[in-house]
């Protein structure tokens, strides 16, 4: 028998040694599951980047105009948390952006889901709405900002209207593909069990479309989060996007960087939240 030294579990966790399954494989290149997490290198790169930031800050190698020092950024975070930004508390800037995203996504879903269902179920609805949906789909929501400003001005309605449009077509397409993904045998089975058309819609098509609707909601959340920040860059006095835009005008690079980090973190939290909801509400996803 060949000698086999068992690597420590720490080495496996760090991705420096193969786990017991991968060790037995002779074919590793091309087998995705044989590629370890490489955690050691992840930790390494984060430490390297942080060290670089600390070193450049301590020795003043980069002008704070281009990139803030680590100490200055820390001070700024404390100041933002205690005083807010331009007399508006930090949480309000974040809160209003999140509120806009949720309002836009929910209103888009409220209209988009029935629209998508009708397009999946009736040829009249499909014929009527298909040209509109297909035309609007490739247009980036940001291209609509000028028109939205002309129609609604720059108040809250305008921003939510923009986000509504951004999510509407995503939700319509998601709901429609949810309907078309229903296996015909399930519909047949339900009819053979005596279900009416309305019951089929409620008890077969709707639950069957939920996974796709959820994927649509997740995509909408992502797109709307990106759109809200951009929309606030253009015209707003509150919100994370406006915060970094105004900070730029005052050459407050540290606030800009903090704003960008906040945007990233919130985007990540939204994605995790949606995945959590998905696990709770549609555990059957992909198991039909």
Partner 1 sequence: MTGIIIDKISMVFTLPDGGDVHALNKVSLNIEPGQIVSVLGPSGCGKTTLLNILAGFLSPTDGEVRHNNQTVTGPGAERGMVFQQGALFEWLTVNDNIQFGPKMAGKPKAESVAKCEELLNIVGLAGFGEKPVYQLSGGMQQRVALARCLANDPDVILMDEPLGALDALTREKMQGLILKLWKETGKTIILITHSVEEALFLGERLIVMAPRPGRIVEDFSLPFPRQALTTNARDVKASPEFVAKREEVLSMIWEMEEEIMGGGIEVRGLSDA
Q: What is the CA angle 146-255-233, rounded to 5?
A: 0
Which one among 66, 194, 249, 280 touches partner 1, defined by CB under 8 A?
194
Nearest residue (CB) to partner 1, 2 versus 287 = 287
Beta strands in 31-190 (DSSP E): none
Contact flag: residue 144 with partner 1 (CB under 8 A):
no
Contact flag: residue 109 with partner 1 (CB under 8 A):
no
Nearest residue (CB) to partner 1, 16 versus 282 = 282
* Pair of tokens at residue 44: 């390494």
* Minimum CB–partner distance for residue 254 and partner 1 (Å): 49
Nearest residue (CB) to partner 1, 63 versus 188 = 188
Tokens 């900002």 locate to 145
- Considering only residues 165 to 184 of the shown chain, the ones binding partner 1 according to CB under 8 A are 183
Residues in the chain: 288
* Size of the residue set binding partner 1 (CB under 8 A): 23
CB 150 within 8 Å of CB 162: no
End-to-end Cα spacing for the chain: 45
Contact flag: residue 191 with partner 1 (CB under 8 A):
yes
Q: How far is CA 190 from CA 83, 185, 195, 212, 280, in A?
A: 60, 8, 6, 21, 25
Q: Taking contact as CB under 8 A, which single stretch among the options 42-50, 104-112, 270-278, 280-288 is the one that binds partner 1?
A: 280-288
106 vs 221: CA distance, rounded Å:
10
Contact flag: residue 196 with partner 1 (CB under 8 A):
yes
User: Where do contacts with partner 1 occur on this chain (CB under 8 A)?
Assistant: 183, 185-186, 188-196, 199, 203-204, 207-208, 210, 282-284, 287-288
């Amino acid at each position: 028998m060949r000698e086999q030294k068992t690597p420590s579990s720490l080495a496996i966790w760090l991705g420096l040694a193969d786990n017991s399954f991968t060790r037995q494989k002779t074919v590793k290149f091309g087998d995705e599951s044989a590629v370890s997490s490489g955690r050691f290198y992840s930790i390494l790169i984060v430490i390297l980047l942080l060290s670089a930031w600390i070193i450049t800050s301590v020795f003043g190698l980069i002008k704070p105009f281009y990139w803030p020092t680590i100490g200055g950024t820390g001070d700024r975070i404390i100041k933002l948390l205690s005083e807010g930004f331009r007399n508006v508390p930090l949480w309000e800037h974040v809160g209003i952006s999140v509120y806009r995203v949720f309002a836009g996504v929910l209103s888009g879903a409220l209209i988009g889901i029935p629209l998508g269902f009708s397009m999946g179920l009736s040829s009249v609805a499909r014929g009527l709405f298909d040209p509109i949906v297909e035309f609007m789909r490739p247009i980036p929501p940001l291209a609509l900002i000028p028109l939205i400003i002309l129609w609604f001005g720059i108040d809250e309605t305008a921003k939510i209207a923009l986000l509504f449009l951004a999510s509407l077509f995503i939700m319509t397409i998601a709901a429609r593909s949810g309907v078309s993904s229903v296996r015909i045998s399930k519909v047949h089975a339900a009819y053979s069990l005596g279900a009416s058309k309305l019951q089929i819609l409620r008890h077969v098509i709707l639950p069957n479309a939920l996974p796709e609707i959820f994927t649509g909601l997740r995509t909408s959340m992502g797109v709307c989060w990106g759109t809200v920040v951009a929309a606030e860059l253009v015209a707003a006095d509150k919100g994370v996007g406006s915060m970094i835009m105004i900070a730029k005008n005052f050459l407050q690079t540290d606030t800009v960087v903090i704003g960008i980090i906040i945007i990233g973190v919130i985007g990540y939290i939204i994605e995790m939240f949606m995945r959590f909801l998905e696990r709770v509400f549609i555990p059957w996803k992909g198991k039909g």
